[in-house]
Amino acid sequence: MKTVGYAAYSSDAIMAPYHFERRALRANDVAIEILYSGVCHSDLHTVNGDWGPQPYPLVPGHEIIGRVLEVGPEVTHYKAGDHVGVGCMVDSCQECDQCHHHEEQYCRHGMTPTYGAPDRIDGEITQGGYSKHIVVREEFVLRIPGALDLSRAAPILCAGITTFSPLRTWNIGKGSRVGVIGLGGLGHMAVKLAVAMGAEVTVLSRSKKKEEEAKSIGALGILASTDEDAMAAAAASMDLIIDTVPVEHDVTPYTPLLDIDGTLVIVGQVGPMKEFMSVPMIMGRRRVAGSLIGGIKETQEVLDFCAEHDIHPICEIIRPDQINDAFEVMNKGDIAHRYVMDMSALSVED
C-alpha cells in the first residue's frame, strides 16, 4: 500500500515528507487510515538520536487514532470502518510469561516499538504514526470507545497509559495521596487520571506559576519545590509520586515527601539521573521505581476509563506541515498540552 508521512532524514530532526509503502496485509493484520497522530516528547528524543543511532528515514509517532480500511482473513475483532488506536508497540513474542500475563511491554524477547525497529517477520523497519496509513497485527490494535472525541484521544495511547499503569500498579484509589512532578503532556494526564480514581493530587513544580492550571484539572494545588518550608511541611505526606520530568534531574528533594513504604516512580527521563541520597529510602522503606507504558489490555482499560470519566488530554490540533514548529516549541521546555496532527491535511497524491 502506497502511503506518505513526515520523516526525519538525519539526527537534525528536521521533518520532511516521505513516500513509502506499507506491507501487504497478513492474515492477522489490520490496515488503518490514520486520522490523528499525537506528538510525544519521545518522538523528538528518538529522531534527535538522543537514545542512540536511528535508521533514517524515520517516521515517528506512537499515539495513533484511525479508521479500519481493511482486515486480513483471520482478524476477528475489527472490521472496516471501526475507530481504532495504535500505541507504542506493534508486536511482541506472544509466548513468554510477560506476554501471557498481558505485559507485552516487558516481553522477554523485546517488544517491537511502533517505529524504528525491525518487524519480527520480514525485518523491515517499523514506521510510525506521522503518516497516512499503518498496518498492524490485530493483537496490538485498540478499540476507541464511542464516547471519546477522536481528535483528542491520541495522547491517551502513550501519555495516558504511561501514567495510568503506575497508578494501577500501586493501587491508587479513594483517599490515596499522589504527587505529580511536572505538568506537561504526561503530568496533566497523571493528574486527571488520579483525580478520577479518587486520589488527592498535588502537583510538584519549581514555582506556583501553573497553580490555576493544576487546580482546573482537579489537583489540590502546587507544592513549589523551591519553597523549602513548604517542602519540609509536606514531609511523609504522599503514597505515590509520579515523576514525569523528561530530562536528567535529582529526585533527592522529592523522596522525603513520601510516606513510609511510599514509591517515587520515574516515567519521564530515560537515561542518566543525578546521584541520589539513600537516607530517605532507608529511613522510611521508600522506593524509587520505574515504569514503561503498559500492556495492551491495560491500554484498552485506560481508553475505556477515559471514556467513562470523560477524560481527554489537553490537545492543540496542528497540520502535519507544522510539525517542525511544534518540535521547536517542545525543545524549549514543557508545554501543558499535546500537539496532535490532523492527518486529513496529508495526501498520498501530494
Q: What is the binding site for Zn ion (CB under 5 A)?
A: 40, 42, 92-93, 96, 99, 107, 158
| Residue 282: CB minimum distance to Zn ion, A | 34
Residue 118 β-bridge partners:
125
Q: 132 or 338, CB closer to Zn ion?
A: 338
The C-alpha torsion from 297 through 268 and 179 to 279, rounded to 10°, is: 120
CB of 191 closer than 8 Å to CB of 313:
no
> Residue 189 is placed in which grid cell?
494526564
Q: 64 or 222, CB closer to Zn ion?
A: 64
Instruction: Fill in the DSSP letter of residue 300.
Output: H
Q: Please name the amino acid found at residue 164.
A: F
Phi, psi torsion values for 38, nearest 5 degrees: -75, 150
Q: 224 or 318, CB closer to Zn ion?
A: 318
| Residue 88: CB minimum distance to Zn ion, A | 6
Q: How far is CA 296 from CA 36, 42, 57, 334, in A?
A: 20, 19, 28, 28
| Residue 131: CB minimum distance to Zn ion, A | 16
Q: Please name the amino acid found at residue 340.
A: V
- For residue 89, the Cα-to-chain-centroid distance in whole angstroms is 11
| Residue 241: CB minimum distance to Zn ion, A | 20
Residue 11: enclosing H or E segment and its boundaries?
none
| Residue 40: CB minimum distance to Zn ion, A | 3
Q: 98 or 255, CB closer to Zn ion?
A: 98
Q: 164 or 286, CB closer to Zn ion?
A: 164
